[in-house]
Structure 1
Amino acid sequence: MKNKRNEVRTVCYDQDLNIDAYHFEGIMQKFPNHFHDYYVIGFIEKGSRYLLCNQQEYQVNSGDVVIFHPRDTHTCEPVSGKTLDYRCINIQPETMRQSVMEITGEETLPRFTQNVIYHSEIASSLRELHLMIMEGERDFKKEERYYFLLEQLITEYADPFAYSISQNSAAAEPSTIVRSLCEYLEKNYAKTISLSDLSSLAGLSKYHLLRSFTKEMGISPYCYLETVRIENAKKLLEKDMPSIEVAYQTGFSDQSHFTNYFKRLIGITPNQYRKIFADKGKNI
């Protein structure tokens, strides 16, 4: 069994497709509840994980495909101490919108009907595309594989009545109070925010606020804030800003806290992430 010293984390940015590809090998890390601002399409190459996504429980194993929409809350941990080998691609909403336009002729964002697709042949297609990205393939065969993969996902697993992730049913929408709290956190993430601030803004007791927010969003207010901070930190790191400055600009109390939380959510350190675009996918 691989131990922590044998973990390999490889990240590559593909300029042709404008997507990130992640490859984790021998991972034991538990990832806390969080979300991303982009689509994640991945598969389990080896190992087994307990997954909680949008408050639904799953056990995913080798060959299973996972799909996260932007803002899908999720957390996972090892099953019986098994290490994880995992590959995924991350697609920004604007890139997804353009890709769907190419495939369907409609400028929309897809809403997939399943977060987990068990024992899917899509895993093989995704692995083939992922290897092309990791190997720096520049031939148009890579783009062909990318579009065919998305076409299959859209055709077989996208909800034809949910043309945009912003058009969910009213029952799935957060309440006005919780939505206003999310907007406040997203606007003021770089500032020091207290639970008292949020309580006053919502007109709720601290406990009632915590319970209502967590029930509706599937994530606590503090975890939501930290995730927003990390997503904004990534954008600054991609511009080659030093991590100490990024920590300051995104509201973290110190660089150590920033580094530790970044690695817990993303799987690599801020400095490793910052080097991705220059190093073009070396083992990190």
Structure 2
Amino acid sequence: MSGDAQVSAWRPEVNGIVEVLHAYFPSHAYPSHTHDAWTVLMVDEGVVRYDLDHREHGLAQAQISLLPPNVPHDGRSVRPEGFRKRVLYLAPDQLGEDLVGAAVDRPELVDPVLRRRLHQLHDVLVDGREGFEAESRLRLIEKRLRQHLRRQAIAPPDSRDPGVAGRLREVLDANLPDGITLDEASKLVLAHPTHLVRAFTREYGMPPHRYLTGRRVDLARRYLLEGRPAAEVAGLAGFYDQSHLTRHFRRMLGVSPGRFVRR
């Protein structure tokens, strides 16, 4: 593998799938970020290493990685030639909030049947003409993912009070495009700004500003997949202008907004 990054992303007309991403990254490393969707990841070439909730994991071609919504993770190639991957982003309610803890504990799955079914679904999604088949294959995949997660969920779901960090995340999510100052957030959360930053960083593994930028990039990619031009998307997602969007988009995804959307 060699050359420039290659990315193809689109939103299929399949209920439950919010995005499909096929990509080759010769050198790009994802910074720590979150998604509001379940991430089902297959590596087709190379080996990926990533941190999820402060714990290091590895992903090779025999495995599938299932990353839960709103849990920080990054990603980088183990080998100098980079990696090629295919990703499904599933709506957060497709697998259930009660299974998040099990996915955090054991995100890697070794299941040849599941991998084969994912490969078949990706082929159908690339073709784009067999919506009913795609939905049928997706339901089988979701069922098998739930079976894996429930076997792993030997402990009860985490019932902790989300506390200051959780309340700040809710405030940031509610003010995603327009943004909010730290002082304004501190008044809503009823905590000192310094305590807000420390509590959030300790809980989610990244400072609030990095979380906000990552969520804005996530929002921007949704608008791009709707066919909106990058200049319009920049404002809709909360960036100052198109160059501001491009800088953060390229840092997060390794390509510019213009090269992200499937042609």
The two structures share one fold, judged by TM-score above 0.5: yes
Aligned counterpart, 1:102: none
- Choose the corresponding residue for 2:247, options 256, 260, 266: 260
| 1:68 is the counterpart of 2:60 | no
| 1:43 is the counterpart of 2:42 | yes
Question: What are the equivalent positions in structure 2 for 1:233-272 lying under 5 Å apart?
Answer: 233-272=220-259
* 1:58 alignment partner, SS class: strand
Q: Percent same amino acid among aligned pairs?
A: 23
Task: Answer whether contact 2:46 2:84 (CA < 8 A) is retained.
Answer: yes
* Structure 2: gaps (5+ residues): none
- State the one-letter code of the partner of 2:42: F
Judged with a 3 Å threshold, the aligned counterparts in structure 2 of structure 1 residues 262 and 137 are, in CA distance, closer, same or farther, namely: same
CA distance in 1, matches of 2:193, 2:133: 57
CA deviations 1:223-281 (Å, max 9, x no partner) are 111122223333443444432233223332332121121233345433445xx4xxxx4
* 1:246 alignment partner, SS class: helix
Aligned counterpart, 1:11: 9
CA deviations 1:107-146 (Å, max 9, x no partner) are x556152353254312222112112211235174433322
How does the TM-score come out when normalised to structure 2? Answer: 0.82
CA distance in 2, matches of 1:188, 1:145: 36
CA distance in 2, matches of 1:72, 1:270: 24
**TM-fit CA distance, 1:36:** 0.8
CA distance in 2, matches of 1:148, 1:245: 38
- State the one-letter code of the partner of 2:38: Y
CA distance in 2, matches of 1:224, 1:169: 22
Aligned counterpart, 2:21: 22
CA distance in 1, matches of 2:226, 2:134: 26
**TM-fit CA distance, 1:75:** 0.4
- Choose the corresponding residue for 2:159, options 170, 173, 179: 170
| 1:142 is the counterpart of 2:134 | yes
How does the TM-score come out when normalised to structure 1? Answer: 0.77
Task: Answer whether contact 2:182 2:193 (CA < 8 A) is retained.
Answer: no
| 1:183 is the counterpart of 2:170 | yes
**TM-fit CA distance, 1:47:** 0.8
* 2:84 alignment partner, SS class: strand
CA distance in 2, matches of 1:187, 1:142: 33
CA distance in 1, matches of 2:179, 2:146: 41
**TM-fit CA distance, 1:221:** 0.5
Judged with a 3 Å threshold, the aligned counterparts in structure 2 of structure 1 residues 157 and 187 are, in CA distance, closer, same or farther, namely: closer
CA distance in 2, matches of 1:12, 1:237: 9
Which deviates more, 108-117 or 149-158?
A: 108-117
Question: What are the equivalent positions in structure 2 for 1:42-191 lying under 5 Å apart?
Answer: 42-94=41-93, 96=94, 108-109=96-97, 111=99, 113-114=102-103, 115-121=106-112, 122-138=114-130, 140-158=132-150, 168-171=157-160, 173-175=161-163, 177-191=164-178
* Structure 1: gaps (5+ residues): 98-107
- State the one-letter code of the partner of 2:34: F
| 1:219 is the counterpart of 2:206 | yes
